[in-house]
Amino acid sequence: MKKQLFGKHIVPSCTYCSHSKKEGEMQFCDARKVLKNGKCRKFDYNPIMRTPRGAAKLPSYKNDDFVI
């Protein structure tokens, strides 16, 4: 069985659905569906539409932290 890219349990969101269209700041469903109770019958995950998270901040260290 093939392992999915972001796991098996992807929460449906219009931002990364293949039926989603974005015009300016407005985003709407091309299939004319809406999320009801966090579910959509037409939800089709498209990993290319997903925006990656930013890089995690690295902690700052002082020179005293490296003295033995």
pLDDT tens, position by position, 4-49: 666 677 777 778 788 887 778 777 777 777 767 767 778 787 888 8
Residue 12's Cβ-count burial label (10 Å; 0-12, 13-18, 19+) is: middle
Top mean-pLDDT range of 27-31, 32-36, 52-56, 59-63: 59-63
What distance in Å separates the CA atoms of residue 10 and residue 19, rounded to the nearest whole number?
A: 16
Question: Which pLDDT belongs to residue 35?
Answer: 67
Question: Which pLDDT belongs to residue 38?
Answer: 67
**Its pTM surpasses 0.75:** no
